[in-house]
Amino acid sequence: MTPSGGSLTVVASGNNGIDLVCSYNKGTRVFLGGGTNNAIKYVDNGNFAAIQTSTIASQGIGSDVVRFFEAGANLFAVVDAGTNKLFKSTDNGVTWTLVNTTFDNGGNITPLTSAFIIGTPNGNIFFLESSAGTSENVFLSTDEGATAVKIPNGLPTNGIHIGPTIGKILTNGNKV
């Protein structure tokens, strides 16, 4: 659409299109996250005629890229594949690497299964742990998602209901 309004112009469809779920602006690059087997596309300087596709490891049919965020110096994408999976890009979204977050579970290093992931500009990444219906467990990573520790207090005593419209963590700047 032109800056003064008017009609819309189709810039990507068919094989070049995307089942858009989320978008994110980083400088002059706009990222488009989709529900077509965790597709990520991006455009530079508003040039939708030259839409590009990022490389991200497939998480299977039905997985959606649901969120982008910057945490510290890197860009992250969250893929919902039943549970949230965290991907990191160190090259401004051209390639993505799966981050396998772990936590110390009483002396046992355990993979963290998360229902929701969000980051803050200072590099903190928060995870809402998956469980059967509710979770009292929010985890914090200060090392780009490599490891996380459980936040020991300050959460509702009866847990956070995990569902499609609630059970999310919101950030404002570096605050949760």
Same domain, 109 and 90: no
Residue-wise pLDDT tens digits, 14-31: 555 567 788 888 989 999
User: Six-digit token pair at 59?
Assistant: 């998480």
Task: Specify whether 9 is located in the same domain as 64.
Answer: yes
Which range of residues forms the domain containing residue 61?
Answer: 1-99
Report pLDDT for 40: 86
113 within 8 A of 60, measured Cβ to Cβ: no
pLDDT in tens, 65-81: 888 998 888 999 998 88
Q: Do 155 and 138 form a contact (C-beta atoms < 8 A)?
A: yes
pLDDT at 126: 87
Collapsed DSSP state (helix, strand, coil) of residue 135: strand
pLDDT of the residue at 164? 46
* Residue 77 shares a structural domain with residue 111: no
Q: What is the pTM for the complete model shown?
A: 0.79
Q: Helices marked H in 70-110 — which ranges? A: none
Separation of alpha carbons 94 and 96, rounded Å: 7
Co-location of 6 and 85 in the same domain: yes
Placement of tokens 């419209």 in the chain:
165
| Residue ranges in the chain whose pLDDT is less than 70 | 1-18, 35-38, 62, 130-136, 153-176
- Look at the chain and report how many structural domains it folds into: 2
